[in-house]
């Protein structure tokens, strides 16, 4: 695996960052779903909702992180995983930005954190992608 990651360092850094992010989100939402979901302005109406938070925010986050590592290993390069993560992050950021105006959520505390954080994350991923193409 070390050889694969060293084959394209900018892409590897991005994929490791993406995997750590997704695994971290999985741990946070599986272990304490209600508290963490409320910080995202999401509240379950009953215990099934609590399970859904664990599944969709936690379980899918874990699956995405694992999938990116699998793709890196299976293809022998981190570039394809970086592209997948880039598509995911750019889509989430773009969708959030559009619906921020549609839903008038720009004053919400979570939005004030999410927009700059996701924007910087997307910029960092695009930077890694460009460096992966220029340097390798």
Question: Is residue 86, in this structure, part of any structural domain at all?
Answer: yes
In the chain, the percentage of residues whose pLDDT exceeds 70 is: 100
125 in Cβ contact with 93 (< 8 Å): no
Domain count within the chain: 1
pLDDT exceeds 90 at position 83: yes
Copy the structure tokens of residue 18.
């993406």
115 in Cβ contact with 100 (< 8 Å): yes
Question: Is residue 38, in this structure, part of any structural domain at all?
Answer: yes
pLDDT exceeds 90 at position 69: yes
Rounded mean pLDDT of 59-64? 97
- pLDDT number for residue 125: 97
pLDDT exceeds 90 at position 41: no
Question: Is residue 135, in this structure, part of any structural domain at all?
Answer: no
HEC profile of 42-72: CCCCCHHHHHHHHHHHHHHHHHHHHHHHHHH
Look up the domain containing 20 and give its range: 2-130
Rounded mean pLDDT of 5-26? 96
């Amino acid at each position: 695996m070390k050889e694969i990651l060293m084959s394209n360092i900018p892409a590897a850094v991005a994929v490791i960052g993406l995997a750590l992010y997704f695994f971290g989100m999985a741990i946070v939402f599986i272990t304490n779903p209600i508290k963490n979901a409320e910080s995202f302005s999401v509240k379950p109406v009953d215990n099934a909702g609590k399970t859904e938070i664990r599944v969709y925010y936690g379980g899918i986050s874990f699956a995405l992180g694992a999938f990116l590592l699998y793709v890196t290993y299976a293809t022998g390069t981190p570039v394809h995983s970086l592209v997948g993560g880039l598509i995911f992050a750019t889509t989430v950021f773009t969708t959030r930005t559009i619906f921020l105006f549609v839903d008038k959520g720009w004053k919400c505390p979570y939005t004030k954190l999410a927009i700059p954080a996701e924007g910087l994350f997307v910029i960092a991923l695009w930077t890694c992608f460009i460096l992966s193409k220029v340097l390798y």
